[in-house]
Amino acid sequence: MNTLTTIDEMGFAHALQQDPLEDTTSDHALLEATRTGDQDAFAELVSRYRNQITSYIYRMTNDYDGAVDLAQETFVRVYRAADRYQRSYAFSTYIYRIATNLAISELRKRKRRKLVSLTGLFQSTDDAEAREFNPPDDRPLQDTELVDTERRNAVQRAIGTLPEKYRAPLILRDVDGRSYDEIARILETSEGTVKSRISRARGFLREKMTAYL
Partner 1 sequence: MTKSNCTTIRREVDELMLGEDCSAAVLQHLKECNECLEFEEKQTRLRQIVGSLGVVSAPTNFDSQLRSRLAENGRANSAVHTFWLLTQRTAAVAAATLLFFGAVLFVRYYATHKSSEVTAEKQNTERVQPAVPSMSPQLKEAKEAESSKNPQVALVPLKSVDDGTKRVLPMKPRLKPVTVAYDMSSNGAPVISSRNATNDSEPIFPVDAAQQSLKVSLLDGRGNPHTISLPSVSFGSQRAVSNQNSFAPKGVW
Q: Output the CA–CA distances (angstroms, integers) from residue 137 to 118, 131, 146, 211, in the order listed.
A: 18, 19, 12, 9
Q: Based on CB atoms, which residue is closest to partner 1, 187 or 205?
A: 205
Cβ contacts of 42 within 8 Å, gap of 6 or more: 10, 30, 33, 34, 79, 82
Q: Which stretch binds partner 1 (CB under 8 A): 42-50, 81-89, 92-100, 135-143?
A: 42-50
CB of residue 87 to partner 1, shortest distance in Å: 23
Residue 140 sits in the site that holds partner 1 (CB under 8 A): no
Binding residues for partner 1, rule CB under 8 A, total 49
Q: Which stretch binds partner 1 (CB under 8 A): 26-34, 114-122, 136-144, 196-204?
A: 196-204
Q: Based on CB atoms, which residue is closest to partner 1, 123 or 126?
A: 126
Residue 130 sits in the site that holds partner 1 (CB under 8 A): no
Residue 213 sits in the site that holds partner 1 (CB under 8 A): yes
CB 61 within 8 A of CB 14: no
Report the C-alpha gap between 9 and 85 in whole angstroms.
24
Task: Note the helical H segments in the chain.
Answer: 12-17, 27-35, 39-61, 64-80, 91-113, 144-160, 164-170, 180-187, 191-208
Going by the DSSP 8-state scheme, the letter that residue 172 receives in this structure is I
Q: Output the CA–CA distances (angstroms, integers) from residue 199 to 83, 89, 170, 174, 184, in the order listed.
A: 38, 26, 8, 11, 14
Q: Considering just the CA atoms, what is the radius of gyration of the chain in Å?
A: 19
Residue 112: how many other CB atoms lie within 10 Å: 8
Q: Which amino acid would we find at residue 204?
A: F
Q: Based on CB atoms, which residue is closest to partner 1, 36 or 123?
A: 36
Residue 85 sits in the site that holds partner 1 (CB under 8 A): no
Residue 4 sits in the site that holds partner 1 (CB under 8 A): yes
Residue selected from 22, 117, 118, 177 as contacting partner 1 according to rule CB under 8 A = 177
CB of residue 95 to partner 1, shortest distance in Å: 14
Task: Catalog residues that contact partner 1 under the rule CB under 8 A.
Answer: 3-5, 7-8, 10, 12-13, 16, 43, 46-47, 50-52, 54-55, 58-59, 64, 67-68, 71-73, 75-76, 79-80, 148, 151-152, 155-156, 159, 170, 174-175, 177, 180, 195, 198-199, 202, 205-206, 209, 212-213
